[in-house]
Structure 1
Amino acid sequence: MALVNLPWELVEEIISRIPPECLVRFRVVCKQWNNLFHEKRFIKTQLDHACPQFVLFDQNKIFLIDVNLDDLAIQMHQISVDIPCVLSMTPFITTYCDGLLICDLFFNGTAVWNPLLRRGRQIMTKNIRFKLCGIGYDSNRSEISYKLFGYHYYYEHDYKLEIYECASNTWKYINAPYEEWPIKEPLDNHISLGGNSYWTAYNIETSEYLIRKFDFSKEILKNFCILPCKKNHEGDTHYLSVFRGNRFSMLEQCYGTKEIEIWVTTKKIQNGDEENVVWVRFMNVSIPEIPRLFHQSFGRCPSYFVDYMYGKSFVLCCTDENRQGSIYILRGGFSRKIKIDSMGVDFNHFIYVPSFTPIP
């Protein structure tokens, strides 16, 4: 049988849909394939097709969890990392952007790490406590240049917002307040989308939940949009996540019933969309064993993602009522709780989308 030479564009599309862990090994197939994995266009295409994973930090060990929505099952494997400080301590605050994980190492600075490529770098701060908030870039520029932003603690109650530019290895002070009355923030971890950083906050005067934003193009803090929910109980919780790579999803849990509603935005999130954000209910989640979830100020945030590739699906990583690490999966009318037996009670977990994005 004669071999058929497929158009290279079709080959690229097929390769981009292969599971990332397998793709890493394909770099040795030929020089053309190895070069492909460094092209910006392919990196973006592969990232668009990649499925979210969970990354877990526990007692000097790091694990990745793949979720199989067909069988409502998970596959867990330990991975290595070449940043000693990441292994010597458990990062508390972690965010991700384009396949890069950003880990807060307390007084040891910050780590930028790509778990798929097993590569990373440590960024030292100014020998004082640095609170990592987010990562992003100027979306108005053709070339992506990643930046971190957060607060340096100079003295008690003296917090200064600063930006770290990865390319130039320099810090820049931003004249912005740590908190603005009547906004209470943040209620959960920051997420990165379209080059900007977002997080949920609460307006004490109006009793409204909202999304706050750090705009990396203008280097300013601002309100982005009002969330489609009201505060009914002090224990009601809300968590923001990325949906389908370019939209928001929001988890809202009722304290009394523990039932969960998932909301999603109808359109791609872009700069200047503040007045045009529309939310719709995506799904209701009712799993008998699901625990009450808590905001960051009360404990570690849960990690979750939703999808509709296999029908509407919901996947949550958190600790249960007995402080046992667990994965909850809901798809259609089927649900399953999977215990993570190898985890201690103080493990951290985060959403991660694997990609070939190089370390900045």
Structure 2
Amino acid sequence: MRKGKRSRVARPEHIPEDIIVEILSRLPVKTLMKFKIVCNQWKSLISHKIFSLRNDARCREKPLFFFRRSNKDLTGTKVSTYWSLNSDLHVEEFDNPFSEYEFLGSCDGLLLFGYGKNICLWNPSTRYSRAVHHLLSLGHGYRRVLASGFCYDDSVDDYKVVIIISQPRKSEPTIYAFVSHLKSITWTKVICPYEVLRTDWVAPLMRGNLHILAQEKEGKNGGNQRPNAPQQLILCFDTKRDEFKLWPKPDPKHDEQNLVHGLGVIEGCLCMVRPDTYGWEVLTMREYGVKESWTVLFTIVNSHLNAPRYSLVPVFLTNKGEVVMVENHQKVLAYDLKSRNLLDVRQQKYPESSQLFGFPYVESVADGNQERPPRRKRNNRLDDFIYFSYLDHL
């Protein structure tokens, strides 16, 4: 056998860790999943939360949509249809094994679902899924989910679930936010002093906080408000302090009521939609939490948008400068910021008795790997479970 000098190739452990992280963070998720088996060091780096966040920043974000059917099938479950859009605004199929579960929120490429008494976590990119929490002991009585959210709490290095519900009372419904970390087995109950409006299923997530539309309760409007016209508000649920805060709105134009017909997040900024004299204004909050930073992004001048009980929710900004929105929970629209044209987007067939929702999604290697809470003593009383009932928005 001919002897020769072997070329020396640096082993992975001889490469500085910061260089490895820089290289790996530029790779797509599917490639990263293969590289986890190279060595323990790479597996540890790719699985680390900080790397997951760094990789997310480089990934291409895309909008994800789902139809929720109000009617039940033979199994007694509510079936949802999920799909997404590519860069050309063409429909892409999205296989979801949790189609019979209620969607609760998305964070770091992880989707959270609720079904009966369980909460499940799923990463569509890695196909990783598991049960992460229980919905027992949230109190008694029938209740409805008004909004929900899923975020990451860096102060405790854990994910947090927020479920806002309405519990009937003899006088008036009481609204609560139930909050829990995935590592915890208990829920914190926070009373909401306002009436939450059921404009969207999943609350927009910004800086780890949830943002929802609300209004003053009856009798608290103030002397300048018209009867039966409570002031509309934007609420922020601070997930660090577990409390509701009033969020600054832009000043109304002229003598208008300053109504908000949709909330969303575009390019890392909170957005809102309000009616204008000639159409609909989409405003963006350039500096988070600063009232004076509200700026008109664009105005849609189109008479066919003037519909009763109208909602227009900003979802996503494409790399071509098109703002993707959901109209009246029924149709996807795209507004071209350059040509100022409103485009209809082809979408999947609209199921009967259903509503359309959308949110931004980004591929990720995150797995939300937390210790599973110990099993609680089984309780068969139905009123100890929280059920995700369909909300009748109209």
Poorly superposed stretches of 4+, deviation over 6 Å: 3-8, 231-235
Partner SS state of residue 28, structure 1: helix
Answer 1 or 2: higher relative contact order, Cα 8 Å, separation at least 6.
2
8 A contact 1:66–1:76 mirrored in 2: yes
One-letter identity of the residue aligned with 2:30? V
Which of 294, 302, 307 lines up with 1:279 in the alignment? 294
8 A contact 2:150–2:159 mirrored in 1: no
Counting strand residues as a fraction of each chain, which structure ranks higher? 1
8 A contact 1:260–1:284 mirrored in 2: yes
1:8–1:252 Cα change, 3 Å: farther
Report 1:58-137 matches (<5 A). Answer: 60=79, 62-68=81-87, 72-81=88-97, 86-88=98-100, 91=102, 94-103=104-113, 105=115, 108=117, 110-118=119-127, 119-121=129-131, 123-126=134-137, 129=143, 131=145, 132-136=147-151
Which of 248, 261, 274 lines up with 2:270 in the alignment? 248
8 A contact 2:315–2:326 mirrored in 1: no
Where structure 2 has 5 or more consecutive residues not aligned to the other structure, the ranges are 1-8, 70-78, 226-230, 371-394
Distance (Å, rounded) in 1 between the aligned partners of 2:196 and 2:162: 22
8 A contact 2:315–2:358 mirrored in 1: no
Which of 283, 289, 296 lines up with 1:263 in the alignment? 283
8 A contact 1:228–1:279 mirrored in 2: no
8 A contact 2:333–2:342 mirrored in 1: no
* Cα deviation 1:103-135 (Å, max 9, x = unaligned): 455x55655443333325363333754625333
8 A contact 1:315–1:330 mirrored in 2: no
One-letter identity of the residue aligned with 2:158? I
How much does 1:306 deviate? 4.7
- Tell me how many residue pairs correspond in the alignment: 324
Partner SS state of residue 50, structure 2: helix
One-letter identity of the residue aligned with 2:186? T
Distance (Å, rounded) in 2 between the aligned partners of 1:347 and 1:184: 19
1:309–1:238 Cα change, 3 Å: same
In structure 2, the partner of 1:165 is: 181
1:49–1:164 Cα change, 3 Å: same
8 A contact 1:237–1:293 mirrored in 2: no
8 A contact 1:211–1:227 mirrored in 2: no
Distance (Å, rounded) in 1 between the aligned partners of 2:122 and 2:309: 27
For the pair shown, the structure with the greater C-alpha radius of gyration is 2
* Cα deviation 1:190-241 (Å, max 9, x = unaligned): 2222222221334544666442122222222221322344597789542121
One-letter identity of the residue aligned with 1:192? L
How much does 1:282 deviate? 1.6
Partner SS state of residue 365, structure 2: coil
Distance (Å, rounded) in 2 between the aligned partners of 1:97 and 1:25: 21
8 A contact 2:104–2:150 mirrored in 1: no
How much does 1:79 deviate? 0.8
Report 1:321-336 matches (<5 A). Answer: 325-333=331-339, 334-336=341-343
One-letter identity of the residue aligned with 2:273? L
Distance (Å, rounded) in 1 between the aligned partners of 2:322 and 2:275: 17
Distance (Å, rounded) in 1 between the aligned partners of 2:150 and 2:272: 20
In structure 1, the partner of 2:246 is: 223
TM-score, with structure 2 as normaliser: 0.65
How much does 1:168 deviate? 1.7
Do residues 201 (structure 1) and 209 (structure 2) align?
no
8 A contact 1:109–1:123 mirrored in 2: yes
One-letter identity of the residue aligned with 1:280? T
One-letter identity of the residue aligned with 1:352? P
One-letter identity of the residue aligned with 2:236? K
1:24–1:35 Cα change, 3 Å: farther
TM-score, with structure 1 as normaliser: 0.71
One-letter identity of the residue aligned with 2:99? L
Give identity over the alignment, percent: 14
